[in-house]
Each structure stands twice: as C-alpha cells, then as structure tokens.
Amino acid sequence: MSSVTVASDSPNDPPAMIASPPPHAPGQVPPLFSPDTAGEDRSGRGVTARFLAGLASHPQAGTPFLVALFGSAGSGKSALLRQVLDALRALGGSPGSTPSGGSDRPSIVGVRIDASTGADAQSTVVSRIFTALSLAYPSLAEEAVYIGGDPLKAARAAGERVNDLRRKLDSERQVLDELGGRQARLAETVLFESPGSRVDVYARANRGRIEARQRAFGVPGTDPIASYKSLVREAAEGGGGTSRVGLVLRALWGFKGQGTLIALAVLLLVIGWGSGDLAENQGAWMAWLSGFGDRFAGLSAWAQDRAGWLAPVSHAAYGLAFVAILVDIVRAIRFLHPILKGANLLTGDLDGRRRDLDSLLAHQTRRVDHVAAEADAAVRTAESAERRVETRRAAGLLEPTLSPAEGVLGTAASPHEAAEAFFAGLSAAMGGDAAKVAATAGVGSPGGTATSHNGPAEMTAAPNRIVVAIDELDRLSPAAAASFLETTHRLLGRPNFVTLAAVERSHILTGFADTDPALAAARLDRCVQLSYDLDAAAAMPESMTGQPGEDNRGVGANEIRHPTIDLPWQGFETQLVQALATFAGPNPRSTKRFVNSYRVARADPRLLDATPAELAALACALALDRSGVAAELGADRETAAPGEAVSPQNAHIARALAAAQQAIGSTFSPADVRRGLQVARIYSRRG
C-alpha cells in the first residue's frame, strides 16, 4: 500500500503528524475512516506521559502543585491525561500493590474529573474524589468526612438525622399497613366504595330485573343493590360454602320457593315410582286383596276396574316431577345469571386494582426496608460521632459543654466549610499526621488497634498521594473554566495533592480577565505552578528530541523510569541557577517558580545528554520567561551567524546571558542553545 503524505501549512509541524498510515497485518483490511475520538495516540507522547506521571508521583516532589497542560483544540490533551493516569495505575495506584518504580514510590490514587458535567466545581471535585477513594480506600473516605470537622456538631447532626429517619420510618410503616388493609378489603372497596366500578354500573342498569328476582327468592335486605353486591362478593371471593358452587347449590334449594319445588318433585317421583310398580305387579297385589275374603270383594273389584290408570298416573307423576325440577333450575339460572355476571365483572376490577396495589405494596416495602437500613446506618454513625466526642473530650481537646452561641447557630456547616474540612482531613491522613487523625476521627495510632465507628479496627489506610486530572475545561465558557480552575486550586492546594489541568491557554486567560492580559496572567500564575505546552512540544523537530525513547529502552510500555529526574546536578548548575535567580522576578515566589521550572525542564527526556550550553540556555530562557523578553533570546539566536557567539541587543538579556556563560565557564553559539530554547518554550509560563 502506498503511503499518503499530508501537506502542512506550517514548517514547524512535527514529522509524527505528517506520517504515512500505520501498517496493517497481512490479510487485515484497513479502516476506511478513523473516528475523531480520544482513542489510540500516534503522537509519540507515551514518553511524555510517563515523565509527567513520574513527576507527579516522585517522593521528593513537594506538594501541592498544579500542572497546566496547555494546548490547542485537537492537540491531544485528553489523550495525554489518560496516559498519565494509566501510567500512575501501573506505578502502584492500588492499595497494597508493589509499585513498578521501586519501593520508594508512593501508592497513588488517580482521579479524572470531567469539568463539563454541568455541576458546580466544588461538588464535582468533592464527589469524584470521594467516589474514587470509596473504591480504593473506603475506610479513609468514610473517616475523611469527619476528620477536621467539629465533632460536637457532627454528633448533634447525627442524632437529629437518626430522629428524622425514625419518624420517617414510622410514617412509611403506617403507609405500608394502610396498603395492607386496603388489599384485605379490596373487594368491599370496589363493591361499596367505588360508584364508578363495572359492577356498580351493571347493577344500577339492571336494577329492576335484579330487584324482582331477589324478591321472588326472598333475599332479605331493604336495599336490593347492596344485597346483590353481597351475593356477588360471595360468588367472587370463593372458599367453602360461599364459593360459586355453594351459591349454585343454594340457588337450587336454599332460597324461597326452591325448596318447595324440590320437595314437590321428590313427592311426584315417589308417586310415579309407586304407580309404576303397582301397574307392573297388578296380579300380585290383586291376589293379595282377594286373600282377605268377601269383606274386601268390593274394594278388590273397584281396584281391578281402575288398575289401568296406574301406568298413566306414573307417567304423569314423572313428568310433573321433571317439570318441577326444570322450573327450579330455570328459576335458579335466572337468579344466578346477574350474580355470576357481576362476579366476573368484579374479578376483572379486582385483578386490575390488585396488580396496582401489589406494585404499591412492593414499592412501599422496599421503601420501608431502605429507610430501615438508612436508619440503622444513621444509628451507627451517631454512635461513632459520640465516640469521637468522648475521645476528644478525654484527650482534653474539647470543652465539656456546648456554648450558647453554638446552640443558637445550629449544627450544619456550609458546603464550603464541609468541602474544606473534607480535604483538610484527607491531607492530614495522607501526610501521616497520626495524632490529628486519631484525635479528630477517634482512631488509634499507626500499628495499633483503632476505635472506629465500626468497632475495633486497624489504623485507617491512606494513599501517599492523590493525582487529579481535570479535563474538558475548554467546553466551559472562559469565565466558568477560570472559576473551575480557581476552585480546584483552592480545594486541592494542600499537601499530598497533585493536579493536572488540560486547557487552551487563550481560553483560560480570557476567563481570568478578557480586557487585562497582565491581570489574567497574574491570576493564572497564582493557580499554576508548572506549565507544559503541548503545541510547543509538538513543534519541536525530531532531530532535537535527544532520542527520548532510549530513556525507556528495555522498559515495559506502562512502566515509569526516567533516570534524569533523580540524576544529581552537575557542578555548574547550582551556580547557574543562583546567578539567574535575580532575573526571574522581583519577589521570592518568582524565584521559586523559576527554580522549580528548571528542575523539571532539565529532566525532560528531550534533554537527555544535554550539553552545559543547552542547559544554560534553558535556564536563561526560563529565568527571563516572566519578564516577557525570553523570545528575544531566540530571535538573537536566529540572527547570529553560524559559529558566532550569541550577542543579544537587549541589555537585560545580555546580562542574563553573560551570567549564564560565566556559570558554565564558556560562551555558546546559536547551535549550542537551540535545543535548550525549544524545551524552554514547552515549560514557558507566558506561552
């Protein structure tokens, strides 16, 4: 397959972005179109990601600090953040794991925060970090809610929550009992308390017919509709003599007139059977009568003359008995028809309402179980809060009684105070401040048993560092992005926290002050301790990278090993930094920022095997970065003749360059400083 070269509008575009499509395995069909997602990274930033992960996790990197990853849209900021978090997980981000970088590496909790979720910055940061800690260090997450807070207020709030939940539980149980009662009397409710039910409509539409048949059957009651509904309920509910079979049998002989018809039918059957038997055995009984002599001769003659009637009488008796039974059945059917019709209608009504009621009962049962579990947890929390109060009181860290002002002001802290206390507690726990943790959380000392809210337990485990990666700031408005960054800096500006924020530089500067560039830069400078410009890194020619891949030769893709971070300074570097510190700015913070930037930039993989002149150029550019004239040093390099020493026109730059040359003991040409200046642009605070 032939390669495709993409023309570039800029001569500084990196070769990695003008490369041919990646090769495919034999027989594999290449994709027709690659989606524009933060997927596979082909920009070669794996080394950069591992370098930043090593910096964020280095035990000698003082915290807190915030690294701003500046880059234009599509520069790979999100992909780089994800690679950094992946590298941190490989380093030893899970509790109890053996870090790949050696035993001196801390265990890390990496948290990615999407700033574009729509929630406010404070709640987003707190919830995401709390969720990440709950998965890796659940005990610490639970204890951190209380560490640094007021135990008396927490105890009072926990007690009030228990009372509220118990009242809520009683209320929910009453609702559940009410639903159970409604289910027990559902048929009665539908029949007598629901005028719009189908049974009620049918009964009222056929009131005359129903009333006439009930009168004929002698059904008691002054209200025929109520009596009818009672019979319908008996037929629908079932069970024993009140089932439909029992009601049918009662309709055949239990109501007025039906018993008489049954008795008449029985009598007629007896007459029919007797007449038929006499007709069939006429000779026998005639002989029997003749045996009585002349006294019964007249009776015998009369019976003999009328013996021919016996057969017709038998047939007539059987016929009348059948008619009596038929009339009984017809009357029963006419009586039962509206009742069974109403029972079917009632069953349909009950089925629909019973499904709804069963659903309500199941839902309410779950609510009761949920509130009961919540109440049990609240009781345990309240007991834990009381133990914390007693622990601090026994240690002499708490007044024995509440002040009147505390009683008036109440127990609930503001969300801002709660967030500040949460992160203060986390910082104390991760810093190994055992005394503060034990006093505020009610736990023991490291290595011994602790009294936590769950009973005796070991000292709460904690990571050594939390690295927070903030992404999608560019999706917010400039003002919202700046506010998010400032809130994050305020909350996480504590020991053992490291923050990486990916954002477009012009976007965030506009949010800080769209009409005052100096003010915007100053506000951004207060939040950001270290800058990393992805666009400047991408513009650096491959010939000037110093073969960064050799820094990881023989190392797994997810491992972190950058010896330059731990390499001692060369002899001239201390004198170099001291000589250039006066050019960094007028205050101690400017000097500190310059020194920190140089310490990190000198360890950049692109400066592997850097010469003293390149390191001097790097330090000189970083020192002059705050003054805004560092770019002139690069311009002077471009205008100098090959082999000629750099001779800047700006006096301030000339003095800084002279100090750098004096520190390394030699002058340097433009070729000597090229790589140092290119790396300095990556770590420039001004862009």
Which band of pLDDT confidence, cut at 50, 70 and 90, is reported for residue 89?
confident
On the question of pLDDT at 123 being above 80, the answer is yes
Q: What share of the chain is helix, strand, coil (3-state, %, to 5)?
A: 65, 5, 30
Which band of pLDDT confidence, cut at 50, 70 and 90, is reported for residue 499?
very high
Q: What pLDDT is stored for residue 292 in this prediction?
A: 63
**Strand pairing class (108-114; 465-471):** parallel
For the packed helices 244-253 and 224-237, what is the interaxial angle rounded to 10 degrees?
130
DSSP 8-state symbol, 476 = S
What does pLDDT average to over the chain? 74
Which band of pLDDT confidence, cut at 50, 70 and 90, is reported for residue 24?
low
C-alpha angle 266/272/273, rounded to 5°?
Answer: 90
**Strand pairing class (449-452; 65-70):** unpaired
- 163 vs 138: which has the higher pLDDT: 163
Which band of pLDDT confidence, cut at 50, 70 and 90, is reported for residue 112?
very high
Picking from 6-15, 256-265, 397-406, 478-487, which range would have the lowest pLDDT averaged per residue? 6-15
> Cα(564)–Cα(73) distance, rounded to whole angstroms?
31
Contact 582, 574 (CB under 8 A): no
> Cα(614)–Cα(47) distance, rounded to whole angstroms?
21
pTM: 0.60
Q: What pLDDT is stored for residue 51 in this prediction?
A: 87
- 558 vs 179: which has the higher pLDDT: 179
DSSP of 259-294, one letter per residue?
Answer: HHHHHHHHHHHHHHHHHHHHHHTHHHHHHHHHTT-G
Q: What pLDDT is stored for residue 551 in this prediction?
A: 41
On the question of pLDDT at 224 being above 90, the answer is no
Tell me the per-residue pLDDT of 290-302, one tens digit each, with 9 for 90 and over.
Answer: 666 666 666 666 6
Most confident segment among 334-343, 493-502, 564-573: 493-502
Which of 530, 538, 573, 545 is closest to 684 using CA atoms? 530
| Phi, psi dihedrals of residue 111, rounded to the nearest 5° | -130, 125
Q: In what order do the strands lie in the sheet with 530-533?
A: 108-114, 465-471, 497-503, 65-70, 530-533
On the question of pLDDT at 95 being above 60, the answer is no
Which band of pLDDT confidence, cut at 50, 70 and 90, is reported for residue 351?
confident
Q: What pLDDT is stored for residue 37 in this prediction?
A: 57
Which band of pLDDT confidence, cut at 50, 70 and 90, is reported for residue 9?
very low
DSSP 8-state symbol, 467 = E
Contact 448, 459 (CB under 8 A): yes
Picking from 302-311, 334-343, 404-413, which range would have the lowest pLDDT averaged per residue? 404-413
On the question of pLDDT at 655 being above 80, the answer is yes
DSSP 8-state symbol, 572 = H
> Cα(439)–Cα(424) distance, rounded to whole angstroms?
14
The whole-angstrom distance between residue 181's C-alpha and the CA centroid of its chain comes to: 36
Q: For the CA atoms of the chain, what is the radius of gyration?
A: 48
How far are the Cα atoms of 127, 169, 537 from residue 83, in angstroms, in the given order?
23, 48, 16
**Strand pairing class (455-458; 449-452):** antiparallel
Name, in order, each residue with C-beta under 8 angstroms of 197's C-beta and a sequence gap of 6 or more.
Answer: 190, 191, 345, 346, 349
On the question of pLDDT at 5 being above 50, the answer is no
Element containing residue 532 per DSSP (H, E): strand 530-533
Q: In the chain, pLDDT over 70 holds for what percent of residues?
A: 69
- 45 vs 148: which has the higher pLDDT: 45
Residues 339-356 have a mean pLDDT of 78
Q: In the chain, pLDDT over 90 holds for what percent of residues?
A: 16
Tell me the per-residue pLDDT of 357-393, one tens digit each, with 9 for 90 and over.
Answer: 888 889 999 999 999 999 998 898 888 778 877 877 7
Name, in order, each residue with C-beta under 8 angstroms of 152's C-beta and a sequence gap of 6 or more.
Answer: 389, 398, 402, 406
Residues 474-480 have a mean pLDDT of 93
- 485 vs 406: which has the higher pLDDT: 485
Q: What pLDDT is stored for residue 181 in this prediction?
A: 84
Contact 617, 673 (CB under 8 A): yes
Residues 231-241 have a mean pLDDT of 65
Q: What pLDDT is stored for residue 645 in this prediction?
A: 52
Block residue for tokens 């769950």: 454
Name, in order, each residue with C-beta under 8 angstroms of 402's C-beta and a sequence gap of 6 or more.
Answer: 152
386: how many CB neighbours lie within 10 A of its CB?
17
Which band of pLDDT confidence, cut at 50, 70 and 90, is reported for residue 229?
confident
Picking from 207-221, 603-617, 654-668, which range would have the lowest pLDDT averaged per residue? 207-221
Q: What pLDDT is stored for residue 545 in this prediction?
A: 55
